[in-house]
Amino acid sequence: MSKSDSLSAVTRPEPGPSDPGPLENGSAASAAVATAAPAAPEPPPAPAAAEPVVIHPFDKRVFGVALAVLALMIALASRYGYFVDELYFFDCLRHLSASYVDQPGLAPLLMRFSVAVFGTSATAIRILPALAAAGTVVIGALTAREFGGTRRAQFVAALGVATMPELLSSAHVANTTSYDLLAWSAFAFVALKVERTGQPRWWLLAGVVLGLGLSDSRLIVSFAIVLVIGLWISGGRRLVTNRWALGGALIAALCALPDLWWQTQHNWAGYTFTHSLNQQNGGPGNIPTWFVGQLFLVSLALVGVWIGGLRHLWRSRNPMWKALFWSYAILFVLFAVTSGGRIYYLAGAYIYLLAAGAVAIDARWSSRRRRVLYTVGGTLTTALMFIIGLPLLSVNSIGWTYGVNRNLGDTVGWPQLANSVDAAWRSLPADQRASTVIYTQNDGEAGAVNQLSAGTGLPTAVSAQNTDWFWGPGNPNATTVLAVVPGPVGGSQAGFKAALQADFADVREVGTISNPYGIHNKEYGGKIYVCTRPREPWGKLWPSLLHYA
């Protein structure tokens, strides 16, 4: 029945057997109107229904995979030494704050908890990152389940996440990355539950997850923004245009307030820092690095799995699934252009891509031949990534890995640096030591001196990099500065020395930094200078020394 017919049926009764119709009563006008009336337009087609999702029982083997990751991380935690970020974090513990230049306050606060409960050993401060990695494995499997994955797909997703080089490498050290990966994966998981269950109340939990993520790293806000953009593109705007989504956003904003407050008190230093990083790591020259680097965030044998997951999301009729595709695509291009050298910025997205891929190709796992191929390929590529990213080899054997992964090399040589600085300081006359400041070019070097030489009588080392600059120059009236300059890998030694000579009339070399393992990391080949006769008082020189890196 057409729209006009429906209206006629409502406004007047149908003619009975003895009632004349419009043509029978001789009304030519009525007949003309009836003939000339245009046909009503057809209603627009209804949108395609979202794909139904069947939730299968959870595969408890996933907990075994997570526990294996936790056990591996704990077993390897004490090998080599502190990581450069951990040494900087030790200094953050001495200056606990709502936020810092290079990250919000949560990760140092969690490390403060670890130190209070477990102690200051490398194993003690790495327990929480290891737990975060194990939790990320479980979230990866739950995400596969949310996509409709069977027990087998959940298990495959857990294995894929557990063998991610980026997950394991980040879980071996105490910094922000392991918590960031957990937050990204948990936020995507809860967003999927919003759509599948039709319960927008889940946005409140998503807000908590996002808020905690923002308290650890500012990077996750980009994921939240592009997910909303993706929902608008894919026709799912109704999922975020409700009071529950607004409530979740408010929760996240409240969690971000301490960081925002700190930034307003420090001239938005965090955003200046981000801009500086983008200048150092972005641009056309780093785009190839970005493209190649994405292949190594996940086990090489599973590249086809996460690409299959990306295709699966693109072909889906579920707006949230398609929004996750758009999130990856938009951030891939954005990060490639702005920060290509930081290949790990998008690592959190691969967790939901692995989950989607495990579901998409679930039927293939029933083939014995495919299982053998994936198992052999996964074992070989994972073993190679383990050697490069984890402290499995003797420390004397890892020099060749520094060109691929600097994390391991940056856990070596810190005691030697601290001892060299101590020796240089003690070589000065006692009256000169009393007016000497130890000044390092980066915050990790300052943290190494302060942590590894604690209680020896050395003055607190200072640095003008990032947050350290805000902690001040030490003794503003110092007449001697013992300057630590990194090796050739860490920057231009000639440039560093020239900068010192611009501020001091007398600059002389008194020491060289090395390590007994021959690992040419950023500190290897560094120099220690005694700088005297400052051209201006040290306290007045300090403002000009600030640098972001």
pLDDT in tens, 64-93: 999 999 999 999 999 999 999 999 999 999
Closest alpha carbon to 163 in 397, 392, 380, 403: 380
Mean pLDDT of the chain: 89
DSSP secondary structure letter of residue 477: T
**Is it the case that residue 40 has pLDDT exceeding 60?**
no
**Is it the case that residue 159 has pLDDT exceeding 60?**
yes
**Is it the case that residue 17 has pLDDT exceeding 60?**
no
3-state helix, strand, coil in the chain (%, to 5): 65, 5, 30
Residue carrying the six token digits 């920060």 = 339
In this prediction, residues 188-214 reach a mean pLDDT of 97
DSSP secondary structure letter of residue 99: B
pTM of the shown model: 0.88
Query: Comparing 22-36, 123-137, 286-300, 415-429, which segment has the lowest mean pLDDT?
Result: 22-36
Q: Quick one: CA dihedral 250, 251, 253, 254, positive or negative?
A: positive
pLDDT for res 490: 83
DSSP 11-61: HSPPP-TTS--TTTTT-HHHHHHHHHPPPPPPPPPPPPPPPP-PPPPP-TH
For 337-379, write each residue's pLDDT tens digit. Answer: 999 999 999 999 999 999 999 999 987 776 777 767 777 877 8
pLDDT for res 47: 41
pLDDT for res 49: 55
pLDDT for res 455: 87
Distance CA 57, CA 189 (A): 16
pLDDT for res 526: 95
The pLDDT confidence band at residue 15, using thresholds 50, 70 and 90, is very low
The pLDDT confidence band at residue 406, using thresholds 50, 70 and 90, is confident
In this prediction, residues 132-161 reach a mean pLDDT of 97
**Other residues' Cβ atoms within 10 Å of the Cβ of residue 271:** 12
- Looking at per-residue confidence, does 46 or 318 come out higher? 318
Torsion of CA 105, 106, 107, 108, to 10 degrees: 50
**Is it the case that residue 43 has pLDDT exceeding 90?**
no
